[in-house]
């Protein structure tokens, strides 16, 4: 009973809205209005209310469907902070794990006495693209194109660890299928570290990461003769920053097509 | 002449800092407590004040003064207290004026210099002020004024050698090898211990890291990743030209070190069929290779004890990289530091007593330099609160340390006394790291 009543009420409301919006769409002559006056400058004796600031980022910024990513944000001078896409009101700074089904732009609005500030970040859902098979293409060229298309994905590591997470193993399973499609192509597995360890230890840790990746791929049927490893330690950071999210980007095994 | 040995003093004043943050000074004293007081009078022109002679004297005076100051063995009263009479030869010295309370020096160095058309001649003296006896007199002849820094370094080392009764041969003629960023490459360079006279050792456009000297200073060993080849190679580069690539079990190799007898290398590498870094030793040509660790953890960064009987290294077999040592055949494994956090880059002191290393406290992102006394496992902290400090290496007399630090904003090379004092920045531009102090270059008389 109640639900039917609710549905009817809703229907009535929507009808009213529809009617009124239809009414607005009627063509009618509108006089050209003069431009609005400029807002008066703030009186000099009042200290200006500081404008709010807002920033938001996603790490990683591109994921497979079903994977998770972390949104991190920071605001200043704001009394009300809202993130769209159903997240709602949030604290001045923080982070949240999201798992969107499709590529999504998250916008944060920070509202304060000094106005509004907005920032956005986009989480891209990577769709594995099946390339058109070209018979004449060499394996090396084929693998190169798969890598360029973003179909071969890097795997990421925890601080001071060379263990492969469940998510990394799933990625490597997909990578292994691609590598097996191009058996003549060489794959170079690069091990990378963030800058926080020492240079010497990082060179060793990067080797462990590359080898852990190598061994997993071999266990999934990739020919060991197809794979090579190299550690770059902390020499080749993907993100030159000195933040947690930069460090997370730099702890990875990266795949390069060899000759 | 009475023995000068007992006049010399070594004070290593370590600021002991426990991990709990309770600080207390810890002083190791050897010998007497009164430091030697030394004056170094400005050198004078031997015959005429030509412009070239005056400018060469200026360089000589500055280098000699900073060498003796950095030696950290002497009290050197300010030159503002010096008598005004210029000293060319012994006859010009008014010894009583060097014994007034404001100076009261034990020793006085002085001399003269002249730039001639075909040569530069320096006469340098060291006198015992109280006995008015000559301790040392040297005459140096060089081809041209560009070599004057070498003469000053040599005289400084001779003073240190005499006044320390042979405990130190001085570090003024030593050199430091390091790795400098050049675009996306890292190349090996060598400079004098004071940062001057930089020479290029590699220009191959690859990554060249972790140089170490052979004991005779004739070669450097380091690891190289050339973009044309995959993986890392172990190189032995002759400073006179020519190099050999030392065979390693796999294309991962890092942090090589040459044994004190110059016959063996220790390095971190991975077995061809392995998945983790181990400590290996081999002959310089790669033969006789032995895997000393055989443990499924990261084992890296080996350093030889001065006897060549032991190797200290780092291993993360307990979870995080910690400092361990073993005999050079892999037996008698024992842990040296057990404070948690991350240890790396051990360097064994020339007298065998201490091991320098870096430590990163748990949940901290910077590294500091520490010393562990091998016999007692006591730990002394050398740097704190100034950037991240890595890759320490001993001077050949064991009285100084070279290391890299981000304290000036970018990664640069610094030297200091082994008590953490007397800090001096050697490089200022670009990114410079992995410093390695050479051995002594010549025997002092």
Average pLDDT, chain B: 90
Confidence band for A45, pLDDT divided at 50, 70 and 90: low
Average pLDDT, chain A: 82
Higher pLDDT, B166 or B341: B341
Q: Is the pLDDT of residue A128 over 50?
A: yes
Higher pLDDT, B98 or A10: B98
Q: Is B250 helix (H, G, I), strand (E, B) or coil?
A: coil
The pLDDT value recorded for residue A12 is: 44
Query: Percentage of residues in chain A with pLDDT exceeding 90?
Result: 48
Name every chain A residue with its beta carbon within 8 A of the beta carbon of B358.
198
Name every chain B residue with its beta carbon within 8 A of the beta carbon of A258.
230
- Chain B nearest-CA distance from A144, in A, is 18
The pLDDT value recorded for residue A134 is: 52
The pLDDT value recorded for residue B4 is: 38
Confidence band for B64, pLDDT divided at 50, 70 and 90: very high
* Contact present, A53 and A77 (Cβ < 8 Å): yes
The pLDDT value recorded for residue A67 is: 80
The pLDDT value recorded for residue A37 is: 52
Contact call for A198 and B390, based on CB within 8 A: yes
Distance set, CA B342 to CA A28, A202, A210, B359 (Å): 76, 11, 21, 5
Confidence band for B3, pLDDT divided at 50, 70 and 90: very low
Distance from C-alpha of B152 to C-alpha of B67, rounded to nearest angstrom: 8
Contact call for B391 and A197, based on CB within 8 A: no
Please give the backbone phi and psi of residue B397, each rounded to the nearest 5 degrees, phi first. Answer: -90, 5
Name every chain A residue with its beta carbon within 8 A of the beta carbon of B342.
160, 197-198, 201
The pLDDT value recorded for residue A20 is: 42
- Chain A nearest-CA distance from B299, in A, is 8
- Chain A nearest-CA distance from B301, in A, is 7
Contact call for A229 and B252, based on CB within 8 A: yes
Higher pLDDT, A112 or A169: A169
The 3 state secondary structure assigned to B97-135 is HHCCCCCCCCEEEEEEEEECCCCEEEEEEEEECCCCEEE
Q: Is A229 on the interface with B (CB under 8 A)?
A: yes
Of the candidate ranges A86-100, A117-131, B319-333, the one whose mean pLDDT is the lowest: A117-131
Contact call for A205 and B298, based on CB within 8 A: yes
Q: Is the pLDDT of residue B262 over 80?
A: yes
Q: Is B301 helix (H, G, I), strand (E, B) or coil?
A: strand
Confidence band for A33, pLDDT divided at 50, 70 and 90: low
Q: Is A205 on the interface with B (CB under 8 A)?
A: yes
Contact call for A207 and B344, based on CB within 8 A: no
The pLDDT value recorded for residue B185 is: 96
Q: Is A208 on the interface with B (CB under 8 A)?
A: yes
Q: Is A234 on the interface with B (CB under 8 A)?
A: no
pLDDT in tens, A150-161: 999 999 999 999
Q: Is the pLDDT of residue A16 over 80?
A: no
Mean pLDDT across B232-244: 95
Report the largest interatomic distance among the alpha carbons of chain A, rounded to a whole angstrom: 77
Question: What is the chain A residue with the closest CA to B297?
Answer: A208
Distance set, CA B7 to CA B37, B38, B100, B127 (Å): 10, 12, 20, 14
Burial class of A46 by CB neighbour count within 10 A (0 to 12, 13 to 18, 19+): exposed
What pTM does this model have? Answer: 0.77
Mean pLDDT across B359-373: 93
Higher pLDDT, A11 or B94: B94
Contact call for B433 and A199, based on CB within 8 A: yes
Name every chain A residue with its beta carbon within 8 A of the beta carbon of B234.
none
Distance from C-alpha of B90 to C-alpha of B88, rounded to nearest angstrom: 7
Higher pLDDT, B279 or A123: B279
Mean pLDDT across B264-282: 96
Higher pLDDT, B229 or B173: B173
The pLDDT value recorded for residue B43 is: 97
Of the candidate ranges A114-118, B141-145, B426-430, the one whose mean pLDDT is the lowest: A114-118
Name every chain A residue with its beta carbon within 8 A of the beta carbon of B277.
204, 207-208
The pLDDT value recorded for residue B12 is: 39
Name every chain B residue with its beta carbon within 8 A of the beta carbon of A211.
270, 275-276
Distance set, CA B412 to CA A241, B221, B272 (Å): 19, 21, 36
pLDDT in tens, A211-228: 999 999 999 999 999 999
- Residue A208 has its nearest CB partner, among B230, B255, B298, at B298
The pLDDT value recorded for residue B16 is: 34
Please give the backbone phi and psi of residue A189, each rounded to the nearest 5 degrees, phi first. Answer: -100, 115
Interface residues from chain B to A (CB-CB < 8 Å):
184, 186, 207, 209-210, 225, 230-232, 251-252, 254-255, 268, 270, 275-277, 298, 300-301, 314, 316, 320-321, 342, 344-345, 358, 360, 365, 367, 390-391, 433-434
Helices H / strands E in chain B, number of each = 2, 32
Q: Is the pLDDT of residue A190 over 90?
A: yes
Percentage helix, strand, coil for chain B under 3-state DSSP, each rounded to 5? 10, 40, 45
Confidence band for A22, pLDDT divided at 50, 70 and 90: very low
Q: Is the pLDDT of residue A88 over 90?
A: no
**Which residues 129-148 of A are in CB contact (within 8 Å) with B?**
none
Contact call for B342 and A197, based on CB within 8 A: yes
Secondary element (H or E) of residue B440: none
The pLDDT value recorded for residue B337 is: 85
Name every chain A residue with its beta carbon within 8 A of the beta carbon of B178.
none
Q: Is the pLDDT of residue B57 over 50?
A: yes
The pLDDT value recorded for residue B166 is: 84
The pLDDT value recorded for residue A64 is: 80
Burial class of B368 by CB neighbour count within 10 A (0 to 12, 13 to 18, 19+): buried
Q: Is the pLDDT of residue B149 over 80?
A: yes
Q: Is the pLDDT of residue B372 over 60?
A: yes
Confidence band for A146, pLDDT divided at 50, 70 and 90: very high
Q: Which of A241-245, B18-22, B42-46 has the highest mean pLDDT?
A: B42-46
Q: H helices of B290-358, where?
A: none
Of the candidate ranges A201-205, A242-246, B170-174, the one whose mean pLDDT is the lowest: A242-246
The pLDDT value recorded for residue A49 is: 80
Q: Is the pLDDT of residue A31 over 70?
A: no
The pLDDT value recorded for residue A132 is: 55
Mean pLDDT across B282-298: 96
Q: B238: which residues sit within 8 A by CB, 6+ positions away?
A: B218, B219
Contact call for A160 and B342, based on CB within 8 A: yes
- Residue B342 has its nearest CB partner, among A198, A204, A211, at A198
Q: Is the pLDDT of residue B2 over 50?
A: no
The pLDDT value recorded for residue B444 is: 52
The pLDDT value recorded for residue A215 is: 97
Mean pLDDT across B392-400: 95
Please give the backbone phi and psi of residue B433, each rounded to the nearest 5 degrees, phi first. Answer: -155, -165
ipTM of the complex: 0.88
* Contact present, B163 and B75 (Cβ < 8 Å): no
Q: Is the pLDDT of residue A34 over 70?
A: no
Distance from C-alpha of B442 to C-alpha of A165, rounded to nearest angstrom: 56
Contact call for A201 and B344, based on CB within 8 A: yes
Mean pLDDT across B226-254: 93
Q: Is A13 helix (H, G, I), strand (E, B) or coil?
A: helix
Distance from C-alpha of B221 to C-alpha of B235, rounded to nearest angstrom: 5
Mean pLDDT across A76-83: 89
Q: Is the pLDDT of residue A23 over 80?
A: no
């Amino acid at each position: 009973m109640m639900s039917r009543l609710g549905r009817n009420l809703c229907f009535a409301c929507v009808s009213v809205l529809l009617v009124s919006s239809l009414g607005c769409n009627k063509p009618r002559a509108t006089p050209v209005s003069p431009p609005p006056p400029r807002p008066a400058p703030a009186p000099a004796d009042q200290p200006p209310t500081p404008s709010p600031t807002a920033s938001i980022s996603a790490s990683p910024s591109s994921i497979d469907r079903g994977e998770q990513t972390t949104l991190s944000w920071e605001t200043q001078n704001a009394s009300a902070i809202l993130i769209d896409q159903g997240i709602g009101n949030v604290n001045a700074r923080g982070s949240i794990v999201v798992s969107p089904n499709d590529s999504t732009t998250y916008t944060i609005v920070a509202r304060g006495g000094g106005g509004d500030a907005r920032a956005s970040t986009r989480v891209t859902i990577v769709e594995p693209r099946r390339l058109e098979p070209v018979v004449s293409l060499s394996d090396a060229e084929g693998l190169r194109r798969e890598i360029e298309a973003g179909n071969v994905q890097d795997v990421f590591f925890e601080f001071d660890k060379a263990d492969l997470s469940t998510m990394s193993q799933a990625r490597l399973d997909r990578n292994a299928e691609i590598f097996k499609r191009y058996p003549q192509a060489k794959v170079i597995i690069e091990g990378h570290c963030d800058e926080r360890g020492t240079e010497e230890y990082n060179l060793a840790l990067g080797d462990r990461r590359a080898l852990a990746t190598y061994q997993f791929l071999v266990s999934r049927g990739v020919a060991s003769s197809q794979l090579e490893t190299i550690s770059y330690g902390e020499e080749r950071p993907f993100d030159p920053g000195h933040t947690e999210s930069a460090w997370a980007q730099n702890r990875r095994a990266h795949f390069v097509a060899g000759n | 002449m009475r023995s000068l040995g007992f006049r010399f003093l070594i004070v290593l004043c370590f600021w002991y800092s426990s991990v709990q943050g309770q600080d207390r000074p810890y002083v190791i004293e050897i010998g007497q407590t009164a430091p030697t007081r030394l004056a170094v009078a400005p050198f004078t022109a031997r015959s005429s004040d030509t412009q070239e002679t005056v400018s060469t004297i200026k360089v000589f005076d500055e280098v000699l003064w900073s060498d003796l100051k950095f030696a950290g063995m002497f009290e050197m009263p300010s030159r503002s207290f010096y008598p005004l009479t210029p000293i060319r030869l012994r006859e010009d010295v008014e010894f009583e004026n060097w014994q007034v309370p404001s100076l009261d020096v034990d020793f006085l160095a002085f001399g003269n210099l002249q730039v001639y058309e075909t040569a530069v001649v320096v006469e340098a003296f060291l006198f015992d002020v109280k006995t008015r006896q000559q301790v040392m007199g040297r005459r140096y002849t060089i081809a041209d004024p560009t070599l004057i820094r070498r003469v000053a370094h040599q005289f400084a080392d001779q003073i240190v050698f005499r006044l320390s009764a042979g405990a130190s041969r001085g570090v003024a003629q030593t050199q430091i090898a390091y790795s400098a960023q050049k675009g996306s490459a890292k190349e090996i360079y060598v400079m004098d211990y004071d940062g001057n006279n930089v020479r290029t050792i590699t220009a191959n456009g690859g990554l060249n890291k972790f140089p170490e000297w052979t004991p005779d200073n004739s070669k450097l060993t380091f690891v190289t990743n050339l973009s044309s080849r995959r993986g890392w190679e172990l190189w032995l580069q002759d400073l006179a030209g020519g190099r050999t690539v030392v065979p390693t079990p796999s294309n991962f190799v890092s942090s090589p070190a040459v044994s004190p007898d110059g016959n063996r290398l220790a390095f971190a590498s991975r077995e061809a069929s392995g998945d983790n870094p181990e400590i290996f030793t081999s002959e310089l040509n790669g033969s006789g290779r032995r895997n000393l660790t055989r443990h499924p953890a990261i084992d890296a960064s080996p350093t030889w004890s001065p006897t060549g009987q032991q190797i200290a290294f780092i291993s993360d077999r307990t979870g995080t990289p910690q400092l361990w040592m073993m005999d050079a055949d892999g037996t008698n494994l024992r842990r040296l530091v057990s404070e948690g956090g991350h240890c790396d880059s051990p360097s064994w002191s020339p007298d065998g007593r201490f091991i320098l290393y870096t430590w990163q406290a748990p949940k901290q992102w910077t590294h500091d330099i520490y010393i562990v006394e091998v016999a007692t496992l006591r730990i002394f902290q050398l740097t704190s609160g100034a950037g991240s400090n890595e890759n320490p290496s001993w001077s050949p007399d064991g009285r100084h340390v070279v290391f890299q630090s981000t304290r000036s904003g970018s990664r640069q090379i610094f030297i200091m006394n082994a008590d953490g004092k007397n800090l001096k920045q050697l490089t200022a531009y670009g990114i410079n790291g992995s410093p390695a102090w050479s051995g002594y270059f010549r025997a002092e008389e």
